[in-house]
Amino acid sequence: MSIDKSAKIYVAGHRGLVGSAVVRKLQSLGFSNLLLRTHSDLDLTVQSSVDAFFAAEKPQYVILAAAKVGGIYANNTYPADFITINLQIQTNVITSSFSHGVKKLLFLGSSCIYPKFAPQPIPESALLTGPLEPTNEWYAIAKIAGIKMCQAYRLQFGFDAISAMPTNLYGPNDNFHPENSHVLPALLRRFHEAKVRGDERVVVWGSGTPLREFLHVDDLADAVVFLLENYSGLGHVNVGSGKEVSIKELAELVKEVVGFEGELVWDSTKPDGTPRKLMDNSMIESLGWKPKISLKDGLGGTYKWYLENVRQ
């Protein structure tokens, strides 16, 4: 089914990496009735506020991209925040969506919901088959509860709530913080700063051999609209690029995109992390969706955004 362009769509978390991309996508497709609220306008952890908002605005569709996110350090330091805030946000939004007659809700999770030693590529069926990665289990447990809540509301009430689990994302509005950003924005920033300083070399941790998967956030936004229009199943759906890249290839590509002329050095005394992490994308592909943005093009656009918005 195609959604009416005048339908009222609430995008929760519209200032984040994912939410901002979903808003760009919806606007580019001609959706003219988007409901957006900043955190200072609406605190999603406060049930009475969320319920009053839904009662007043009566959105027809909800895309739940609001979450408290962070790296390993943040998850280790603030585990109570990560489990509590995420459970509050999703519980409030899902229950209010149901009680105020939302037609369809899409809940966004993360690939960290899967067991630490899941088979690779990771199929949807790997959920809850083994222990989680201990460093971010607080966040993962909340996200798993969100998936299960969507399923429970479908089973008990016939509420059309679906869940999508994206792989590692990158793109405009990413976090380029020097201490707590993910590998791709961290590399972009490091190569850029080395280029500006005229450094002879950039040293990157590890051997460069681990394989990772990256999806441009605009491709995810495209998949979100696709699933809203084409999927109403009980199970969650993986959204990946289906393409693996070694950290070495990624670093070399970033070096090229940034135009750093110096040497790239690998410090193999430093840890590598998981050797391989890739989502099994066959379910969404069988529905008729696949990503369009190549890693090189996506990196070029992300670097341009960094230069215009982040660079000091």
Q: Of residues 139, 231, 303, 306, which has the active-site annotation?
A: 139
Could you tell me how many helices (H) and strands (E) the chain has, helices first?
Answer: 10, 11
211-216 vs 244-246, strand pairing mode: antiparallel
Question: What are the φ/ψ torsions at residue 106 (nearest 5 degrees)?
Answer: -120, 120
Q: How many CA atoms lie within 13 A of 227 on its CB side?
A: 32
Q: Is 139 a catalytic residue?
A: yes
Per-residue buried b or exposed e for 176-195, using 16+ beta carbons within 10 Å of the residue's own CB: beeeebbbbbbbbbbbbbbb
Give dist(CA 200, CA 204) in Å, integer: 13
Question: With 0-12 CB in 10 A as exposed, 13-18 as middle and 19+ as buried, what is 158?
Answer: exposed
Q: Name residue, tokens 């280029």.
A: 195
Q: Which candidate, 273, 271, 287, places its Cα nearest to that of 231?
A: 287
Q: Which candidate, 91, 105, 246, places its Cα nearest to that of 162?
A: 105
- Hey, how many other C-beta atoms are within 10 angstroms of the C-beta on 148? 14
Give dist(CA 124, CA 282) in Å, integer: 10
Residues 126, 119 contacting (CB under 8 angstroms)? yes
Name 271's Cβ contacts closer than 8 Å, sequence gap at least 6. 205, 206
3-class secondary structure, 9: strand
Catalytic residues: 139
